[in-house]
Structure 1
């Protein structure tokens, strides 16, 4: 079954103007909640530490919710301050206790919650899924849920849904844990310490890469909307949220964040991911010093370089393709010669050559291309050639797309295979879907690698 992850990201439709807080109407400016935020100079945001919300990456604070909230705070002319709580239960309790202006923590808008809180516009469509482990419990129907051990995080939308299902299955039981996050419960399922869990599809998609034996058994809901939750008396803030979200469809922020955090997780190959995780511990240690040295020399992140090498050769120094590219970084004979690599089967030469080549490609892109898009487009050029990338950049401009934005640019690359587009391009035809897949897989491998190294 292919999870329904984000089939309707842009739930906030309509045309709106992005107004600053000072430009609000006099009625809105007088709203006590907005006044308090303005006087404080901070937007207090309650969230939780998780890969789908807010976390510290290698370069500081990151996360889908983090970036979206930060953009809204900038719109208000204030700074965001994040109040971190451990679980959904803690987030909700903190909001109810007045510890923040809003909660942005991957929260579903449910009937039970609407009776206690206000909500901003929906921004991401997800679906609740029953998740078990391969070789373990495998209920075939809703009625069979009474025969399996189910665990969920307390005060979650999953509890509300299970309570609804109990009207159909009176013997249905579950354990609601206030001390565990959904991510922790999924890990318990993976460890066979509990039969099954319920989780939103975006959380499942992220975590299946780390726990590949997790299996989606069935959806438990139709698509539901994630939304920011506010205190019930936050009239001014809610109106401002509605206005701001209405303009996001035009400025492309939601689609950009989707591409940044979820654009590479649709790929899931159980066998490939399981094999890759094993090889991180069996094959990678031999080559890690080479990746680290080459990355430092050429201004790259070594985990990115290692992930790219795995995509190229599965860390096999003697790898060879039918087209004649060879070695750890699968260099062509001509490219190897240009880079001073005289033995493509020497892993040190291959890794340093590949790192230099990727760095050179990244440096050849215009200054208007910022990170991380700069790296993704450079990887695409490594796969397909810079000539085709420049062709696609020109085509993107002709089509009114942003050639500096990877999310938009990747939509243009497959058009290089269509005669009506490539016949007028300097470098002509290219299998433009391949670099899109190439970049997605490298991003996926890199995130799995970072997770394995942190554990």
Structure 2
């Protein structure tokens, strides 16, 4: 054998040629790796499974109704595919990733920017821009620059993207101490800051700004790092599913559905008044308990969530049964003399009579707007309670003229303030209207209502 090789001067080239041929045959015979969970399988099975976490930003249940920003987006995605949505819950990103890699779900939707240190996962295009913020207690010394974080102790949740950001700060010379809390969410840590149990945490802006209303003593301090996008995650070998997710987000941003879902949870997060909110929280502990039984009874009779009625009463009178407005509206729900008389009220200062009459009147208004759906119907009724049916009618007519939907609060929140201008109120049947005040009235009730719902959800 070796003698033949020595006699053949071309043997090195022959060997290389044979090697190339063998490699080519092996390469051509290999098939592309199949998609781990083919999109066709999801469509054929008729269902898709979301992996997420149980909190006020992702997924929760309130009054036997499933909701949450990520849940609503995922439900919209399932509808987009024409399939049913299933949900699997995990405590943190590490657990969610494990479920994904073990094919217990098809995608992760959990208000995350990335999955630190994870292989085998692909992230979608970004669907919402956020930023990380330092959170401190109102009584703490203000942190005016990143350099002031040196030597500080910052508490973060386990397996979050905040760990990476703090590592970047450390690399840039900002030495600080990190304490990782395995079973603590961003919400939990913000609450602990507000209560003075820890000094500092870090949170995404959407979480931070929403939590201010729940915990007014928590301050959203300086931003850290660059702005980032929230993303969904799939297994790396699921390109068709990933493409479908990206197409979905592009579609709902164009048709307005993303904005609708966003506004459902985050529309008023920029609105913050520490004095008002702190006063409200104190009233929930001191004043509300005196009248809660009456409120619950009246709300049940007329089929409203009692927390909504409590929120409206606070906006009307701050739970003061002797309240009297400049226009002589009286009592807890600020009944006018005409309304009180029509509802058989003999003493507007009597909390029980006033509350029952006010809720009955709200129900009457609610029933009038039967063409509107869900929350829009409620907001139209509240607007009519505040400013009168006539002005709401004018605002709806103006909405029609502007090719806006008169049954949507998003339309009337634009047209009601327009009725302050002579150009519009001169043509309106019921004339001038302080519509901006009504828009603010609804906004405040929504915030107060959300705080009460949050207490129920978190069992505070």
Return the TM-score normalized by structure 1: 0.88
Q: Contact between 1:142 and 1:169, CA under 8 Å: does it hold in 2?
A: no
Moved over 3 A (4+): 112-116, 450-453
2:316 to 302, 312, 321: 312
- Count how many residue pairs are aligned between Structure 1 and Structure 2: 424
For residue 294 of structure 1, report the CA deviation from its aligned partner: 1.3
CA–CA separation in structure 2 for the residues paired with 1:113 and 1:121: 19
CA–CA separation in structure 1 for the residues paired with 2:249 and 2:337: 51
Q: Contact between 1:139 and 1:148, CA under 8 Å: does it hold in 2?
A: no
Give the structure 1 partner of residue 61 of structure 2: 56
The SS at the match of 2:70 is helix
Cα distance change of structure 1 residues 447 and 32 upon mapping to structure 2, 3 Å threshold: closer
Give the structure 1 partner of residue 44 of structure 2: 39
Give the structure 1 partner of residue 213 of structure 2: 209
The SS at the match of 1:127 is strand
Q: Contact between 1:31 and 1:236, CA under 8 Å: does it hold in 2?
A: no
For residue 160 of structure 1, report the CA deviation from its aligned partner: 1.8
Residue deviations 1:373-405 (CA, integer Å, cap 9, x gap): 211121111111111112212222222322223
CA–CA separation in structure 1 for the residues paired with 2:120 and 2:36: 20
Give the structure 2 partner of residue 7 of structure 1: none
Structure with the larger RCO, 1 or 2 (CA within 8 Å, 6+ apart): 1
CA–CA separation in structure 1 for the residues paired with 2:80 and 2:337: 52
Deviates more, 1:253-262 or 1:349-358: 253-262
Give the structure 2 partner of residue 83 of structure 1: 88
The SS at the match of 2:76 is helix
Matches within 5 A, 1:161-310: 161-310=165-314
For residue 306 of structure 1, report the CA deviation from its aligned partner: 1.1
The SS at the match of 2:221 is strand
Give the structure 2 partner of residue 98 of structure 1: 103
CA–CA separation in structure 2 for the residues paired with 1:408 and 1:227: 30
Q: Gapped runs of 5+ residues in structure 2? A: 1-34
For residue 109 of structure 1, report the CA deviation from its aligned partner: 4.5
For residue 170 of structure 1, report the CA deviation from its aligned partner: 4.2
Q: Gapped runs of 5+ residues in structure 1? A: 1-29
For residue 62 of structure 1, report the CA deviation from its aligned partner: 0.7
Q: Contact between 2:366 and 2:381, CA under 8 Å: does it hold in 1?
A: yes
CA–CA separation in structure 2 for the residues paired with 1:154 and 1:184: 12
Give the structure 2 partner of residue 324 of structure 1: 328
RMSD: 2.0
Residue deviations 1:230-276 (CA, integer Å, cap 9, x gap): 21122111221222222213432112112211223332222222222
Residue deviations 1:36-83 (CA, integer Å, cap 9, x gap): 212332111100011111101113211111111111101211111111
Residue deviations 1:394-437 (CA, integer Å, cap 9, x gap): 22222232222323432332222233333322222212111221
CA–CA separation in structure 2 for the residues paired with 1:327 and 1:194: 42
The SS at the match of 1:323 is coil
Cα distance change of structure 1 residues 411 and 155 upon mapping to structure 2, 3 Å threshold: farther
For residue 126 of structure 1, report the CA deviation from its aligned partner: 1.6
For residue 116 of structure 1, report the CA deviation from its aligned partner: 5.0
